[in-house]
Chain A
């Protein structure tokens, strides 16, 4: 996977974007706070707790299920998760058949 194109044409604003040492090549203290490993760990924990609470809300909130299956516990959570996993895996499989180098049509 290439990081930077060999020759970047000048952007339309007229000057190339300034560049600095990428964050991940710098010591942790110098990085943007949002991308430090400690922050990311906290984000994972926070999201995990948030998701769990959201599912537990199903115990108190009652919608009007139309089809039966949508009345099961945490339906929207597991259905959303499973359908996304299925779509990603399907796309991945289809990619093996359909992906070509992005210069494919230029030849």
Chain B
């Protein structure tokens, strides 16, 4: 056991309690509760020194739900910050369900980062699954209800796979400790697969862009932050340097770009872009050097902030206009200057423009690939960096705030939403200008200088020529009112049909089997009845003469057998 902590409880419980008690808090006091609570949790996270501070005996094992590592602090900090500013943005959310669930969800995410054993990790993992599905359902629209069900099914499947892996791992090693492992046994493979499902890895990528954009204006902001980044945390802590993750990440990076280019719904564009960004992090975990792991961790940190900012900007547009399709939006920069500026700052940060937070984090992952002389990986990451500017950096602000004017003149959203956007904009620029505080909390010492003339010039060339490509190809980018089929088509179209067929077949088989059985039983009963029934041969009354003959035969037999 290591240094004393004032309050030896996981900070996750703070946020979970905050969420569960929210319905009991009178509405006027809620803003204080929702903003003050996460601020306290943020402080709590920082007061916990490294080491394991709580040991609970459980079924012959010891649970360690309060283990802090250098990586824990990076993720727990940004998760609590996200809960704080997200709550501020969501103060006008009428659904108490959503706000309560969102905070339980954030608590689950923080719980995972403090879990020192696989069982605590799993418990918080499932808390996240249920709470996040509740956030989606809180939008209270039929489409959101169905998307939430599909979402929950994927995550329960992931949870079952993870649980099976954890049990197998405990049987293999006899230990429940959560430490770095290699996918060498069936059990560790199952753990890896269970975690990758939450990261949005192929083939189960579609749950994310399917479900997240169906949430409310504020729900999507929360959803963008926790599930995928918790998975990134578990990958960094559990599977550093696992080669296959490089290729999984590569697929995600390009999948996100291509599908976002085809998409019409502004929040779905940003949802695809989450998979793209998580792809960079997964790739960094696969590369596995200190540089690349630092890159993955810091990119998760900056990504949560700028992605939330982008979705706050999109959420504000949705809140004020009720529209989300690019074909119904455009020209809003005239009447929503602050929302537009926040959206552009988020877009520049996601594109890793110099002076923004993305620049100082993502470049470490590409640097990791270059240091290892992985030419193809590096080429892929650079192409994808250009693609990020294309699909999110320009596409989102262009189609929402510029392009064709639709004559809509909504105002900027209410004050609390504006303040939330300003805070996260400040973080995007502040971390870009002063990366040192973030570099200081990364798991490995940072030996990287982002701002060299060559790096800035290269990055500007890459991005601005990507921008040129966008405007040159603008006629090809014309939005259509379409969706793009994805792997989820399998479980949304042929899946239910096949399940229906299978059920019909099993039903028919069952019917014919039970039918045949019933027929056989009926024949058996008839035969028995013929012999033993009330009128059967064996049940008839005997005449006295017959009985006397039978008794005489028996006596004769007796005499014959025992006569000596």
Contact = CB atoms under 8 A, between A and B. Distances in A.
Interface in A56-107: 57-58, 61-64, 66-67, 69, 74-81, 83-85, 87-92, 94-95, 98-102, 104-106
A2 to B, nearest CB: 6
How many residues of B sit at the interface, in one of the four size bands?
Answer: 35 or more
A99 B461 contact: no
A27 interface: no
A30 to B, nearest CB: 12
A91 B258 CA distance: 5
Contact of A8 (B323, B413, B484): B323
Interface string A1-28: 1111100111111001111111110000
Nearest to B413: A13
Interface of A: 1-5, 8-13, 16-24, 32, 34-35, 47, 50-51, 54-55, 57-58, 61-64, 66-67, 69, 74-81, 83-85, 87-92, 94-95, 98-102, 104-106
B407 A21 contact: yes
B550 interface: no
Nearest to A85: B469
A106 B473 CA distance: 32
Contacts of A12: 94, 216-217, 318-319, 322
A101 B375 contact: no
Given A1-B327, A22-B405, A74-B461, A61 B469 contact: no
B323 A84 contact: no
> What are the 3 closest A-B residue pairs judged by CB atoms, nearest first?
A11-B322, A63-B454, A84-B469
B502 interface: no
11 contacts: A2-B328, A8-B323, A13-B319, A17-B408, A22-B331, A35-B402, A55-B461, A66-B370, A79-B462, A88-B477, A106-B143
A101 B483 CA distance: 6
Secondary structure of the B contact surface, majority rule? helix
Interface of B: 94, 143, 216-217, 254, 257-258, 261-262, 264-265, 318-323, 327-328, 331, 333-334, 370, 373, 375, 378-379, 382-383, 386-387, 390, 402, 404-410, 413-414, 452-455, 457-470, 472-473, 476-486, 492
A104 B483 contact: yes
B257 A87 contact: yes
